Amino acid sequence: MKLVLATGNKGKLKEFKALCQSEVVAFSDLLDEEIEIIEDADSFKGNALIKARTIYEKLGEGYLVIADDSGISVPLLGGAPGIFSARFSGEGASDKDNLRKLVNDIVAQGVEKTAGYYTAAIAMVSAYGEYVVHGWMHGWVVVHPRGDKGFGYDPIFIPQGYDKTLGELDEEIKQEISHRAKALRLAKPIMEMLQRKL
């Protein structure tokens, strides 16, 4: 039974493969058609479920579809960008565009460092039901990017207990402490249970 990841994000696919330590395929490897998924829920959980359900409906039984919705929230900015993290500076925005907008918004508040946290919701959809788990990573958002590892907002986020940004930290450390890793640890027993059934 195949684990299918409902994402086109290469960074996420790489992370999932490393964290799952099992065969994970991107849905685009199984479906020829272009699929536009409208993420219009008001929560990470809702958007993760939309993605997983959409791909599961295309593939049908025999697959376990996993989808993640994640992002960074800054309390100083009322929780922004939150669920809009991937399109914070507009539809089709690049990681650099989004990062630059977040930095500018924080600087506009007159600070160079503020509390922030990442949320990851992982949805699992199969013939045996739907499940969602969450993971969080708290820390600080800084306005001077450092490091070129990772993707997204990694160069401006310092996890609690560290003095380096995610853009500077080694992959092994990130796999231990990330919001996605924490959510995946909770998802793993559920995925294993579902795989035994399928």
Q: pLDDT digit string (tens) for 137-189?
A: 999 999 999 999 888 999 999 999 999 999 999 989 998 999 999 999 999 89
> Which ranges of 108-178 would DSSP assign to H, the alpha helix?
171-177
First-to-final CA distance of the chain: 7
Nearest to 7 by CA among 41, 51, 63, 72: 51
pLDDT of residue 173: 94
Mean pLDDT, the chain, whole residue set: 91
Q: In what order do the strands lie in the sheet with 113-126?
A: 24-26, 2-5, 63-73, 113-126, 129-142, 157-159
19-28, 124-133, 141-150: the lowest-pLDDT one:
19-28
Residue 22: band (very low, low, confident or very high) from pLDDT cuts 50, 70, 90: low
Nearest to 58 by CA among 125, 122, 8, 13: 125
Mean predicted confidence (pLDDT) in 1-23: 74
C-alpha distance from residue 22 to each of 15, 67, 177 (Å): 12, 16, 20
Q: Is 69 a catalytic residue?
A: yes
Active-site residue, from 69, 97, 105, 170: 69
Indicate whether 94 pLDDT > 90: yes
| pTM, entire model | 0.90
- Say whether pLDDT at 1 is over 60: no
Task: Please give the domain boundaries of the chain with CATH numbers for all domains.
Answer: 2-197 (3.90.950.10)
pLDDT tens digits for range 60-76: 888 999 999 999 999 99
